[in-house]
Amino acid sequence: MVIDKAALPTTKNGTISLALTSTEIVSGYSNNMSIMKEKLSEAMTSKKYSVVNYALTTGEYKEFVKLDEKVITFGDTDTSNLYVFEAKYNINTPKQKFVQTSKVCGDMVYLMTFGLGLSTGATTKYEDLIKTFTCTK
């Protein structure tokens, strides 16, 4: 289900390009996907942006635990690092599993994040979906 733009929070950096949430609720939580867009202040690769963003993420989230890190290849042969981790947005939110990477398209970067329930097992289907993201002209 697409989230209404008026219901989205204001972000510290960039804008939310897409926000989806599952209609299925398990243990009070529904899986979600978001794509944030931001103009780059300097030229950077998708992989470098993902590394920098990950370093910043580890300090922003609470109870952060890294589960996996791998290099992925998008359909256009661009590569990026993909991170799987568990964390809380803040002390009031439940701990979640996250799958996150970035894709640079010209002077814009897209940060793709899946927020999943902790009971979610393999994240392969989410990783495969992320790999289909490509830049359009």
94, part of any domain: yes
Note the pLDDT tens digit of each residue in 95-122.
999 999 999 999 999 999 999 989 888 9
Residues 6 or more apart from 2 whose CB is under 8 A from it?
Answer: 18, 19, 20
Contact 98, 106 (CB under 8 A): no
- Is the confidence at residue 9, as pLDDT, over 60? no
**pLDDT, mean of residues 20-25:** 80
* Residue 12 included in any domain: yes
Contacts for 88 with CB less than 8 Å, ≥ 6 apart? 61, 62, 63, 94, 95, 96
Number of domains in the chain: 1
Return the CATH number at 29: 3.40.1000.10
Say how many residues make up the chain.
137
Q: Which of 32, 14, 15 is nearest to 23 (CA)?
A: 32
3-state secondary structure of 68: strand
Domain that holds residue 115: 5-131
